[in-house]
Chains A and B, each alone.
Chain A
């Protein structure tokens, strides 16, 4: 029977007046297929009844038991302890609460900001006009556009390791935007353009730093970063692409492509941040002195006419 040391983050605010987080080691003998959640529940039952974790379904549906195992956010019910040890080569597994949240007790965190941001994207259908007499029929291909995002169980594994959130706690975040896309791209929804406006702007889709942690961590294959990218596409298709510097940054790429084929880096600043650009003159001069401000003329590739034709012909279907 395998034996594992579980090094668990403890935080017991009701135990003392000035609670400090600490780690506690628990030794456990267990069968070789035990999940991390079952291991923690056994510790709770057999060794320390004060050990706290949030859980419900135990089968990767409810999204309650996300935590970090050896630094990587997982659903505890979906993760076998022996697989963690095989990956690290160690006999100890460290368990922490999910990141980017305030711990309340042991592995339980305060999810309030997560739910507030979830609500902020209006995660429900807003129909265009009165309901029809019978049901609305949705074609299979229309449903397939949003089927990945509809699988989100709001476990916050993506939120836990989002690098934009770590740097800006007000960033709306990957899960909420996956839901935003799920409704913005729903053919029954009547507020596609309003949603595009709502999701742009400060702390919105253009704040995503593309660290790809959300796609990597999502236990349900939702790929939230891809949803954020698609919301960018919706913003462009709805004409909501001038208001935010992030969208204008993308416009500089399109302009470079049309005029030469390669990125004209010198255009990025005036497109993205025209008002701030003059204030940044000292930095620009330092870049210039190191040869890091390339010619503003287009960088032309061979057969550029093909690129121009593609830009004219290729229709977006987002």
Chain B
């Protein structure tokens, strides 16, 4: 199969605090016939914060990112729920409203940036892989598999909702993570809160509220007998992994729940070296996961 090229938009968290996600995605790409082309001019998407403070600036900055991909002649691939929503939302707004696109382009040109013609799309790694074609890419690798690892899929919010902007699957009955888990030889630990919020957007400003939010999914995943949780979003990962001990203290309970980034779960099944996937950067140890799948 020919290599599919994408403008790669890892997002700030995967580039800095959660480098393990970026490193694993880059190691995975050649195995799934994907070439990730860097976007040197791309800024932060604003993560909803810039949209909340300065909505016109949010739109202009995100269209500038879309324009860089268009200039490269490529669609964008993301590995973060929040980046996906912010970029897709901006794309939809200007594609639906030519006058708005014109106003944004006027600002871009004035600042010396390239105007956007509406010619780029944004997809997430999960969406690319959870199709028949994507699953066949994985199958061709002859995955050594997950050895029945019980995995709790955790979607979080912004890859599902609002479905008018995201639209890949039914936001109330998503199945993309489940399809991948099963295809890779794992078992699904199902639980209701897999589409609920991790609390991350308010974890610094309202820590106790956020920790009550992450508790819902973490406790349900534990009670469903999960060996680990997997998420397509590095912000969810921070809330569930980095803040897990705090959530345990705040909710007077123990989860002891390893949390994997999506490409790490795939990497385990395909036999990517564990050192490449940098599990040592996780706050909750993943030893029991590695033991179950026979990785060292």
Residues of chain A having any CB pair with chain B under 8 Å: 71-72, 87-88, 163-164, 166-168, 171, 206-213, 215-216, 223, 229-230, 232-233, 236, 241, 244-254, 256-257, 261-263, 265, 268-269, 272-273, 283, 286-287, 290-295, 299, 301-303, 305-307, 309-311, 313-318
Contact = CB atoms under 8 A, between A and B. Distances in A.
A292 B234 CA distance: 12
A209 B46 CA distance: 15
Given A263-B44, A311-B57, A291 B161 contact: no
B109 to A, nearest CB: 10
Contacts of A248: 205
Contact of A257 (B61, B160, B201): B61
Interface string B43-87: 110111111111111001100100000000000000000000100
In the A-B complex, list the 8 residue pairs whose CB atoms are closest, starting with the nearest. Answer: A232-B52, A212-B161, A309-B111, A263-B12, A245-B205, A294-B16, A211-B197, A167-B212
Nearest to B61: A310
A166 B209 CA distance: 9
A103 B232 CA distance: 36
A251 B49 CA distance: 8
Interface residues on chain B, size class: 35 or more
Contact of B199 (A209, A299, A318): A209
Given A233-B55, A291-B281, A317-B56, A268 B204 contact: yes
A27 B218 CA distance: 37
B161 A233 contact: no
A250 B192 CA distance: 31
A245 B16 CA distance: 23
Given A292-B17, A314-B56, A207 B196 contact: no
B42 A301 contact: yes
B259 interface: no
B26 interface: no
Contacts of B19: 291
13 contacts: A163-B199, A166-B212, A209-B201, A210-B197, A223-B162, A250-B53, A262-B16, A299-B16, A301-B41, A306-B111, A313-B107, A314-B54, A314-B107
B56 A210 contact: no
Interface of B: 12-13, 15-19, 40-44, 46-57, 60-61, 64, 85, 107-108, 110-113, 157-158, 160-164, 170-173, 192, 196-197, 199, 201-202, 204-206, 209-210, 212-213, 216, 238, 242, 245-246, 280-283
B54 A316 contact: yes
Contact of B110 (A167, A241, A257, A313): A313
B55 A301 contact: no
Given A209-B199, A302-B40, A254 B111 contact: no
Task: Name which of A207, A295, A310 has the most chain B CB atoms within 10 A of its CB.
Answer: A310
Given A250-B53, A293-B17, 10 more contacts: A164-B209, A209-B201, A261-B43, A292-B18, A303-B41, A306-B64, A307-B61, A307-B64, A310-B64, A316-B57
B209 A210 contact: no
B60 A251 contact: no
A290 B56 contact: no
Nearest to B204: A272
B60 A263 contact: no
Nearest to B18: A292
A249 B204 contact: yes
Contact of A310 (B60, B157, B164): B60
A87 B212 CA distance: 31
A216 B42 CA distance: 29
Contact of B108 (A253, A286, A310): A310
B254 to A, nearest CB: 17
Contacts of B164: 215
B54 A261 contact: no
A171 B199 CA distance: 14
B202 A209 contact: yes
A233 B172 contact: no
Nearest to B202: A209
Contacts of A286: 245, 283
Task: Name which of A167, A257, A303 has the most chain B CB atoms within 10 A of its CB.
Answer: A167
Task: Name which of A212, A245, A252, A261 has the most chain B CB atoms within 10 A of its CB.
Answer: A212
A215 B161 contact: yes
A248 B61 CA distance: 20
A121 B95 CA distance: 35
A307 B107 CA distance: 11
Task: Name which of A215, A263, A299 has the most chain B CB atoms within 10 A of its CB.
Answer: A263
A262 B112 CA distance: 19
A309 B50 contact: no
Nearest to A228: B52
Contact of B113 (A268, A269, A272, A303): A303
A209 B197 contact: yes
Nearest to A217: B161
Nearest to B50: A253
Contacts of B216: 166
A198 B238 CA distance: 32
A241 B49 CA distance: 12
Contacts of A213: 157, 161
A257 to B, nearest CB: 6
A163 B51 contact: no
A246 B15 contact: no
Contacts of B172: 71-72
Nearest to B280: A290
Contacts of A209: 197, 199, 201-202, 209-210, 213
Nearest to A246: B205
Contacts of B209: 164, 167-168, 171, 207, 209
